[in-house]
Structure 1
Amino acid sequence: MLIATTPAPGHVVGVLEVARELARRGHEVRWYTGRTFQEQAEQAGARFEPMRAELDFGGKSREEAYPSHAGLTGIASFKIGVRDIFYRTAPAQMEDLLAVLERFPADCLLADDMCYGACFASERTGIPLAWLSNSVYILGSRDTAPLGHGLPPSSSSLGRARNGLLRIVGDQVIMRDLRWEADRARDQVALPRLRTSAMENIARPPALYLLGTVPSFEFPRSDLLPGTHFVGGLFGLPPEHFDPPGWWAELHDKRPVVLVTQGTTANDVDRLLVPALRALADQDVLVVITTGSAVDAGRLGPLPDNVRAERFVPYHHLLPHVDVMVSNGGYNGINAALAEGVPLVVVPGSEENPDVAARVAWAGAGVVIGRRAVSEARLRDAVSTVLNDERYRRRARELAQEYQSCDAPRRAADLVESLADFQGQVSTGGVTR
């Protein structure tokens, strides 16, 4: 098994449990990613295969890795992020992976669903490819709007007309330059251009598409890609050692606990963390703020008496104590909260965050505050609503039961094994196509 992942936490964390399960079953597993994740890959039982230095931005925020992205928002941020982080790196990723495959003839590739170098390598070699989602389902559907709009699903005649019109506008106007970038990337590696929609003309769809969530958190579609499977939540491996911060005992007080987080790479503290800190400063709650690896907690200024700030606290340990999570819409954090029955307040950032927020609202598991409506008063009211309206907690607990009914690592490993077994039969003449 050869695993390939973009060198960012959200693209690595979901693969860890699957890699460990595959290694536990006796498979030889190698993992191509950034050096920041070498220890985690090896902890999971994989042999680490480093990507070349110019592709490896692991351990940096987006702005540190790509200074020209600083200050961008909305669709401009989304498109330039996709172009620089995923499309323009894909040809060199493919070269790295082809070199690995020369000395390690893998039976299948397992990649996050935006590691397009793995897609190119699969096309060039014929090795079957499985995607493991790092966020929402990224392929188009007649029943949903294109990514980036944050709209609910609709399979009515009017809704499908809306979705189709947005796809046309996206292809011909909004995403036209991104389509060209995908075409150029494929030209660069001598692969034929794909006459499909923007965001889908970069790579052929995989044999398996594993979604790291539950059906009740993803929009329903009548045209899911064949080979799509909901495997349940995948939240990474718990830390081998955990030293709780000095305030940990306060989690057992009677005050509700509100977790405020903007994930591991975003560093715009003024957009969510500072307003939330001020909004909740005089409330009878314990506020835990996690700033992410790229942000110094000191940038928050003097902390109110009811606020505790850390750069990072493992969700495995923290979330069982949390009553409400306030988030920018990071996919893995949202799923982790729901798996613990924690309802949400979402203030979506850029990239696919509005689409994640739309699923929170659609599932009934929290309150969404639009980017233009963010204020201290709105944040305070939203947290109070989610704390006091039992509907949100009840729905989050229903979703938690659905997550807990899944053995996600086992299910994902079973499916990847079946793909590798099929390839092995083809290679030895045991299957006729």
Structure 2
Amino acid sequence: MGHFVVGSSPIIGHLAPLLPVATELRRRGHRVQVLTGSRFSERVTAAGLEHVSLPQECDFDAQDLDAAFPERTTKKGVSKLRFDIDNLFANSMPHQYRAVQNLLAPGTVDAILVDSAFCGVLPLALQPKAQRPAVYTAGVVPMYVASRDTPPIGLGLQPMAHPVGRVRDAVLNALVRKVLFAPCHRVFADRLREAAGVELPVYFMNGSLLTDAILQLTCESFEFPRHDLPPGVVSFVGPILPSPPETFEPPSWWADLDGRKPVVLVTQGTIDNNDFSRLIVPALQALADADVVTVATTGGKALPSSVPTNARVAEFIPYAHLLPKVDVMITNGGYGGIHFALTHGVPMVVGGDSEGNQDSAALVSWSGTGINLRNGSPKPAAIRKAVDKVLTDPSYRNRAQVLQRELAGLSAVTTIADRMESAMRERVSS
């Protein structure tokens, strides 16, 4: 029997994709400890896994970041992104590392899997491989690895193939490293020294390259090419999406989705859904007189206002049941939601500008699977124009279906579990 540790930031969108891997390892007879937020204890133990709470200093509530970090309410744009990088991730590093060390103390751990924002393994990854278990990063968000082939991550831009674009990207990368995100790099370096007394050998955005592999939860066609990465460090293993519930009670209006009218789904995901005036309300307004049926899912919350006659609202509908009926999904860019759409060949309209969603939106546009509104609070007119274009231009659905077939050929849970068992065998043999 092996012993594995799965570490996740206290963010449900980061933890949820890792739990099926942990469950699969447990099914194979191994011991699995899940190090994550205290709020997820019941969810972890219900899966038959051992829950270990993160230290209080880094156990924030991602559902209400402004309450956890009041100063965050005064930040906007790049300033807000820098604040999140420092306070949600860099400052968590020493505390997460301390928790990881406690789990490693018995000397029985064979491999560790963490989400791409769990910085507490960086001090461990810098140790000689012979003196530590294997450390793998699960890419639960767009790949935050800087490259000369891409514009700076975090700005929601996409590569430009022509020479002028490469010059633009080179200039922007230099500006971001030396000016915009230079303070974040210094904070990361300070926290690493505090945690382990070592220097940060790479640009902070490339920290996941220090682990033994990045197992990106998508297909290769949905990521920007990066030709300057070390060979073999990145594997595209496909998404890990939750299974539908065993029972499903459809809403009373379910038959309305089987008519001649296109179905448009709008959602703000699970984190940035405190203010429906950002996306759901303007989307309902935009499509109020359109010949469509609009479905809004609110993530367990109630809409504050009335809805148009062509709209249907539910707090939650399993995507596995809903998406086969959907023609276009309007989303704020959550990585999991986007991949749910792609696995069903559904094109998208994306309006996201926080929690990294701006980069997901750029990937949707770059991959040809939808339209990037380039705004987290788009106007109804912009939403209507984009939805009309996606509904009338078949290239978006065709491209989404190409990625659907590519994703169908991948099996992330099996691939990652096999990789961790292989690390266990290598550790035993050595």
Q: Which residue is equivalent to 1:403?
A: 407
**Aligned-partner SS, 1:165:** helix
* 1:176-215 superposed matches below 5 A: 176-200=182-206, 205-215=210-220
In structure 1, C-alpha distance between the alignment counterparts of 2:45 and 2:257, rounded to whole Å: 33
Match of 1:168 among 165, 174, 182: 174
User: Structure 1 residues 245 and 68, CA, compared in 2 at 3 Å: closer, same or farther?
Assistant: farther
TM-score (norm 1): 0.90
* 1:88-167 superposed matches below 5 A: 88-103=91-106, 105-123=108-126, 126-154=132-160, 158-167=164-173
**Aligned-partner SS, 2:18:** helix
User: Structure 1 residues 236 and 420, CA, compared in 2 at 3 Å: closer, same or farther?
Assistant: farther
Q: Structure 1 residue 122: deviation in Å?
A: 4.5
Specify the code of the residue in structure 1 equivalent to 2:265: L
In structure 1, C-alpha distance between the alignment counterparts of 2:42 and 2:324, rounded to whole Å: 26
In structure 1, C-alpha distance between the alignment counterparts of 2:323 and 2:75, rounded to whole Å: 31
Q: Which residue is equivalent to 1:255?
A: 261
Specify the code of the residue in structure 2 equivalent to 1:254: R
Specify the code of the residue in structure 1 equivalent to 2:289: D
- Are 1:323 and 2:320 matched, yes or no? no
In structure 2, C-alpha distance between the alignment counterparts of 1:238 and 1:49, rounded to whole Å: 27
* 1:221-240 superposed matches below 5 A: 221-225=226-230, 226-240=232-246
User: Structure 1 residues 42 and 348, CA, compared in 2 at 3 Å: closer, same or farther?
Assistant: same
CA contact (8 A) 2:123 2:196 kept: no
CA offset digits 1:398-427 (Å, max 9, x no partner) = 11111111122111222222223223333x
User: Structure 1 residues 406 and 183, CA, compared in 2 at 3 Å: closer, same or farther?
Assistant: same
User: Structure 1 residues 239 and 86, CA, compared in 2 at 3 Å: closer, same or farther?
Assistant: farther
In structure 2, C-alpha distance between the alignment counterparts of 1:259 and 1:11, rounded to whole Å: 23
Q: Which residue is equivalent to 1:429?
A: none
CA contact (8 A) 1:62 1:265 kept: no
Specify the code of the residue in structure 1 equivalent to 2:330: V
User: Structure 1 residues 71 and 381, CA, compared in 2 at 3 Å: closer, same or farther?
Assistant: farther
Q: Which residue is equivalent to 2:289?
A: 282
Match of 1:340 among 344, 352, 358: 344
Runs (5+) with no aligned partner, structure 2: none
Q: Structure 1 residue 54: deviation in Å?
A: 4.1
Runs (5+) with no aligned partner, structure 1: 427-433
Match of 1:42 among 42, 45, 48: 45
Q: Which residue is equivalent to 1:220?
A: 225
* 1:327-406 superposed matches below 5 A: 327-371=331-375, 374-406=378-410
Specify the code of the residue in structure 1 equivalent to 2:85: V
Q: Which residue is equivalent to 1:415?
A: 419
Q: Which residue is equivalent to 1:16?
A: 19
In structure 1, C-alpha distance between the alignment counterparts of 2:5 and 2:115, rounded to whole Å: 12
**Aligned-partner SS, 1:309:** strand
**Aligned-partner SS, 1:326:** strand
CA contact (8 A) 1:281 1:307 kept: yes
Q: Which residue is equivalent to 2:34?
A: 31
User: Structure 1 residues 43 and 215, CA, compared in 2 at 3 Å: closer, same or farther?
Assistant: farther
In structure 2, C-alpha distance between the alignment counterparts of 1:41 and 1:351, rounded to whole Å: 24
Specify the code of the residue in structure 2 equivalent to 1:216: S
Specify the code of the residue in structure 1 equivalent to 2:259: D
In structure 1, C-alpha distance between the alignment counterparts of 2:256 and 2:358, rounded to whole Å: 33
In structure 2, C-alpha distance between the alignment counterparts of 1:241 and 1:47, rounded to whole Å: 27
Percent same amino acid among aligned pairs?
Answer: 37
CA contact (8 A) 2:278 2:377 kept: no
Specify the code of the residue in structure 1 equivalent to 2:342: L
Q: Structure 1 residue 176: deviation in Å?
A: 1.6
User: Structure 1 residues 48 and 373, CA, compared in 2 at 3 Å: closer, same or farther?
Assistant: closer
User: Structure 1 residues 76 and 339, CA, compared in 2 at 3 Å: closer, same or farther?
Assistant: same
RMSD: 2.3
In structure 2, C-alpha distance between the alignment counterparts of 1:385 and 1:281, rounded to whole Å: 17
Specify the code of the residue in structure 1 equivalent to 2:252: G
TM-score (norm 2): 0.91
- Are 1:302 and 2:306 matched, yes or no? yes
CA contact (8 A) 2:298 2:314 kept: yes
CA offset digits 1:273-329 (Å, max 9, x no partner) = 221111111222221212335xx3232x11122222233333222222211100111
- Are 1:7 and 2:10 matched, yes or no? yes
User: Structure 1 residues 43 and 240, CA, compared in 2 at 3 Å: closer, same or farther?
Assistant: farther
CA contact (8 A) 2:349 2:370 kept: yes
CA contact (8 A) 1:120 1:203 kept: no
**Aligned-partner SS, 1:371:** coil
Q: Structure 1 residue 204: deviation in Å?
A: 6.0
In structure 2, C-alpha distance between the alignment counterparts of 1:95 and 1:269, rounded to whole Å: 39
CA contact (8 A) 1:29 1:45 kept: no
Specify the code of the residue in structure 1 equivalent to 2:88: I
Specify the code of the residue in structure 2 equivalent to 1:263: G
